[in-house]
């Protein structure tokens, strides 16, 4: 979808290679060393869209704590949601085990009031899939966009694992947002 047109329910997809040749040159480096470049983390805090809530993920506990602290001390976000132990490299919750979710709400003194909870397949009325690893299956941008569009239009993408992960992730984020906007 072209930016400037009516915003789709799940936002826009930005092709990094088209948007920035300089950032695109990081892609082979990341794939080769299996690490994210620094910008993959720090770009979340730039808030180019004027969002009130930062939603981010981190697989490892120490990284999620640092992300929470950066949101609290170095941003103007009114709230933050950090998903930990979900699908590595994504906001998706794992179908194999509960994700750890940290929610922070900005207080009058500027600090965040922190709450933590676990959220897994059972809380969303889904069956745990122990055979599904925490890493999401590799997908192309086109394939993912097509699955999202079909899911949005029909309530199913045609891929049961993808659909369960979307349902689980949306239910977990709904719980986090219910705390923020209570």
Residue 77, judged by CB atoms within 10 A of its CB (0-12, 13-18, 19+), counts as: buried
Please tell me the distance from the alpha carbon of residue 127 to that of residue 121, in angstroms, as a whole number: 6
Is the pTM of the predicted complex or chain greater than 0.85? no
Please tell me the distance from the alpha carbon of residue 20 to that of residue 128, in angstroms, as a whole number: 39
* Sequence-distant (≥ 6) Cβ neighbours of residue 128 within 8 angstroms: 95, 96, 97, 120, 121, 122
Q: pLDDT tens track of the chain, all 182 residues?
A: 455 567 666 566 666 677 777 777 777 766 666 555 554 555 565 555 677 888 888 877 788 888 888 888 878 889 999 999 887 777 889 899 899 999 999 999 999 999 999 999 999 999 888 876 655 666 787 888 899 889 989 999 999 988 999 999 999 999 999 999 88
């Amino acid at each position: 979808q072209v930016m400037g047109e009516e915003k789709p329910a799940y936002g826009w997809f930005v092709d990094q290679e088209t948007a920035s040749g300089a950032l695109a040159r990081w892609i082979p480096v990341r794939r080769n060393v299996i690490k994210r470049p620094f910008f993959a983390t720090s770009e979340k805090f730039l808030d180019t869209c004027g969002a009130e809530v930062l939603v981010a993920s981190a697989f490892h506990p120490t990284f999620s704590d640092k992300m929470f602290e950066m949101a609290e001390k170095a941003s103007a976000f009114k709230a933050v949601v950090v998903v930990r132990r979900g699908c590595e490299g994504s906001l998706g919750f794992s179908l194999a085990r509960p994700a750890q979710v940290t929610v922070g709400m900005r207080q009058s003194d500027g600090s965040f009031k922190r709450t933590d909870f676990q959220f897994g397949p059972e809380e969303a009325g889904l069956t745990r899939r122990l055979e599904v690893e925490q890493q999401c299956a590799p997908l192309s941008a086109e394939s993912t966009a097509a699955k999202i569009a079909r899911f949005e239009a029909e309530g199913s993408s045609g891929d049961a694992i993808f659909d369960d992960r979307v349902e689980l992730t949306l239910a977990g984020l709904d719980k986090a947002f219910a705390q923020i906007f209570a």
